Structure 1
Amino acid sequence: MAPIAYFSRTLSAAERNYAQIDREALALVAGVKKFHDYVYGRPIELVTDHKPLLGLFAPDRQTPQILSACMLRWAVFLSAYTYELVHRAGKALGHADALSRLPFPEPAEDPSPAYGVMLLEDLPQPPVSVVDVAAFSAKDRTLVRVLDWVWRGWPEGKVPEEFRPYKSRRDELSAHKGRLLWGSRVVVPPKLQQRVLEALHEGHPGIVRMKALARSYMWWPKMDEAIEEWVRKCQPCQESRPAMPQAPVQPWEVTKEPWSRLHIDFAGPFQGQTFLIVVDSHSKWLEVIPVTRMTSGVVIRNLRALFVTHGLPNTLVSDNGAQFTSTEFKDFMDINGIRHVTSAPFHPSTNGQAERMVRTTKDALRRIVYGDWHQ
């Protein structure tokens, strides 16, 4: 098959701003669409002078996990054809280059207009706006250079240290309205990183959850290290860190059905508020119920409401608190045919994974309340 070029279509306004690798990939797709009637089922040879495409579209290679939305869409389109992707130097593709330089009429309307970056424009109170990202990217010396390379092509050989994280991802980077993207993640300029970290840390979610949330939407070099350092400097997070276990954890028998064994405990008081915590050991379903008193009657009333909704459990686990060892509570368990198991108080490790969820809830409440006190 002849080398691919932009034969009879003109670039839209949005396509003119594509990165170089995007334009080269779009040329392959456009050529295949042009000759669809001649090449569909039949083996074809696609020739390109852009070598990075061999790592993205070669049919004998797995599609990279991190890829821009348009590149992924084109990879899926090409997968319907039987083809071999071949690289040939640009000087050997003079006829295709000449065709790509032919004058065209006014560009057609964009058939697939680009939407907001990760829908940032639609958030009610975003930590940063797309306008901010573009403005600060244009002022950052490193990002300005990277954006230029994304549009015009990357230099050969080594680059300074500050550019290496970007060059190692060069086939996965794209540009949109002055903003740099890694796959579908926004590259946050240095001047906005602290503002983003503050928003991610709202509610004191901890290192693991902060990283997971950040990786869903954004990236910058050494982002994980920045998150770890941020949490290490947070006093509420450090004061609420769980202590090292004093004894080996004694695991409970694995439950085979939801709501068959429940673990209950109290958390608080926090600012005069106490919480009854109920955890299903099978599904890890968590119920956090505000209560005014820690009495057997209050526990029974709230458990009865849960049992009406979810059904009766086979076993209920608690500590030896007075609320759970009273005659009133024992009668409630016996009447409903529930086996009541008690564990030693102040030793959550004896209760296994479900009790660790109780401790996690307590810590989360403590961090939130402590953080509110210090704001």
Structure 2
Amino acid sequence: EYEEKKYVIAYASRTLSTAERNYGATEREALAIVLATKHFRPYLEGNKIYVRSDCKALEWMRTAKDVTGRLAQWAMKLSAYQIEEIKYRPRKLNTNADSLSRNPLPDDIVNQHEVSTIETAVNLWQNTNILKDIKEEQQADPKLKQIIDFLETKPTTDSNDKRNPHILVNGLLYKIKNSNMYYNQRIIGEKHLLVIPKAMQNKLLEWAHDHPTAGHGGQQKTLFRLITRVYWESMRKDVFNYISACQLCQQFKYNNAPTASPMQLHSVNEPWHTIGMDIMGPFPTTARQKRFLLVIVD
């Protein structure tokens, strides 16, 4: 509350588990209070709490004495907070909270959206002029030009030829993903990987990592976006080096690597061979006016 006006400072929600969906209406409302106190604990501890709910049956929960089962467990958890009042508020007056609970969405929708976003990003380059640029750069790349000339002068559909597991489609050089299987030249998809010339590799790395649909993903996510559709020899190494040098990733991403130096074991032949000492404190002053501990470890 600020200047006699009430403002929302945070929202929290989650879907119910399979077991929780079998709870009655009152139990669900009680569960919401328990989860809310846990989530907003930093705001609630040490303050008076007033709960407003459109479930009138909850009014008895604060003063009930004969509750059993999970309600008793929840009542015990809530006893740690200074809940002054649980008051019924009609739904029409509780719209700020009630409207948010009308259309719950299952958690897997988020995952499906992420997968859809990835697929859209992976195929984005197929709908642009980048294919034309790749074709021109393939012709300009000396190493790839040799392969293209070989396929043009001596075309083959034998994908078991390990000497040259490539194929030309509409003038573009593809690498056969599995050279132990036979593919028709007209079949283009996951079984053929577009060969990216040296001059275009950095552009593909930028697209797979920096593009808004990529979201500066990690090494594995970035590699997945590339390795399922395109190919060049040093792709893994290039992805690692590109992400390691990404300025935005270094600036904003949290480093999960442990910062402590590795512990080293010392060879000990007899007691009191090596002694470690340290001083701990300050602690609350004792009756003898002591505040520190001298710790000695053999």
Greater share of residues in helix = 1
Higher relative contact order (CA 8 A, sep 6+): 1
Q: Give the alignment's TM-score, normalised by structure 2.
A: 0.34
Larger Rg computed on CA atoms: 2
